[in-house]
Structure 1
């Protein structure tokens, strides 16, 4: 299989090959394995691991997964189907986050070093603060900020915070295009 993503490992596993939209940016050092689908203008930054060996992982358009983040899914241990990891469109995931067997709805935000565990849902325009841990089965409702370990409700998000998250999505789409060009230029020399 030809790798259109220099320096990244795109690995077929269990009969599944990652499906990556050609407009997505996959940074060098990434490892993308198995039943993974990555949408248009998404960006997977340096040294991320996305491992869909026991269930599926879906990442929507314009979502960014920042450096060092690990995304995995939960296997079907008891016949219930386990928990795939479903990440919607326009999602921001900060550096070194851990995302496991959960759903991040369109426009969700997961801060630096945060952990989202099996069966959790982060709704649209909601924010899990840096370093927070959303424990199994919890739902972080629309436009709320949760923080702490375990994460708890802190406050509702004002319009300016929501607008800032949306601006962050635009920034990462543009920045990813610049990095994609820099990686291609490096490969040509």
Structure 2
């Protein structure tokens, strides 16, 4: 399914294959030889998304650009089932395994592997040919790789990255943080009410 969002329409190469149950919304460019499988959602929420050539987006993966964070996925990369990429830059020949999460402002270098259920956190930079082990968390610039049982160290690094400020423009110490966050974000997402299905 293709949707016009905020006046922008997807541009899909005639050599790409997009499953009928996939959703492509807004300013999205999909290059030649790409495969977008069933249930995948690629949605440009105000900034563009560009997939190079021969990118594979597996079942139920989510690729989302925000109003201030575009997404770029380089050629010959794979986004695994149930993986998500939000406002990040993925270089060429990158493998994002099932269930991985890559957050806003992150950059994943060429030839890297982010293995099953691993996380590349906000504004984290992975150099080329990095490997994030199964279930581990990459945080910072340069990235520090940590097992999930190192919560205190992960939080120490993550806190400095300021997720609510960087993604939502809100101070973490705001007394009604979730009220402001949901109202502001909900207002932004409500712009989908004007979307128009193209196919």
Q: TM-score, normalised by structure 1?
A: 0.71
5 Å-filtered alignment, 1:58-77, equals 58-75=50-67
**Aligned equivalent of 2:18, options 26, 31, 35:** 26
Counterpart-to-counterpart distance in 2, 1:15 and 1:53: 11
**1:153 CA displacement:** 3.6
1:1-189, aligned counterparts within 5 Å?
9-75=1-67, 82-147=68-133, 148-151=135-138, 152-153=144-145
Post-superposition Cα deviations, 1:33-76, rounded to whole Å, max 9, x if no partner, equal 0000000000101110111122110001001000000110122x
Aligned pair count reads 140
Gaps of 5+ in 1: 1-8, 76-81, 155-189
SS at match of 2:25: strand
TM-score w.r.t. the length of structure 2 is 0.68
CA drift at 1:149: 4.4
1:140/1:146 contact within 8 Å kept:
no
Q: Does the 8 Å contact 1:60/1:87 carry over to 2?
A: yes
Once the 2 structures are TM-superposed, how far is the Cα of residue 107 of structure 1 from its aligned partner? 0.7
Q: Are the aligned partners of 1:41 and 1:63 in contact in 2 as well (CA < 8 Å)?
A: yes
Runs of 4+ in 1 over 4 A off after TM superposition: none
Structure possessing the higher radius of gyration over alpha carbons: 2
Structure 2 Cα separation of the partners of residues 13 and 143 of structure 1: 35
Q: Which runs of 5+ in 2 are unaligned?
A: 139-143, 147-199
